[in-house]
């Protein structure tokens, strides 16, 4: 497989090899692909966790386990006020 890189990307790869961290451009590309794969796995796990949290929140709503928004915002304002006074 041949891949064409932009000038900026080519310079980046060359600098990485010149730094001694990698012995070849192929190593830079392999490491980049490995990092991309890891990033995709992390993103998928985060998405699964977020979806589970959303489902749990919806289930809580269905069970009537919720707090009116005015109470939530009042509690947040009070918490913010306390923090501002603690740091002052």
pLDDT at 19 exceeding the cut of 80: yes
The per-residue pLDDT for 87 is 79
CB count within 10 Å of CB 70 equals 8
Is residue 2 assigned to a domain? no
Mind listing the pLDDT tens digit for each residue in 46-78? 999 999 999 999 999 999 999 999 999 999 999
Kindly give, in sequence order, each residue whose CB lies less than 8 Å from that of residue 16, ignoring residues fewer than 6 positions away: 22, 28
Domain count within the chain: 1
pLDDT at 88 exceeding the cut of 80: no
Is residue 77 assigned to a domain? yes
Is residue 37 assigned to a domain? yes
Mean pLDDT across the chain? 96
Q: Which range marks the domain in which residue 32 is found?
A: 7-87
């Amino acid at each position: 497989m041949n891949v064409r890189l932009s000038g900026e990307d080519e310079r980046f790869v060359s600098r990485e090899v010149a730094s001694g961290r990698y012995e070849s451009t192929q190593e830079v590309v392999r490491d980049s692909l490995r990092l991309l794969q890891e990033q995709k796995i992390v993103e998928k796990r985060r998405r699964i966790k977020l979806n589970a949290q959303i489902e749990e929140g919806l289930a809580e709503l269905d069970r009537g386990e919720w707090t009116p928004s005015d109470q939530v915002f009042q509690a947040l304002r009070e918490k913010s006020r306390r923090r501002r006074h603690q740091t002052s």
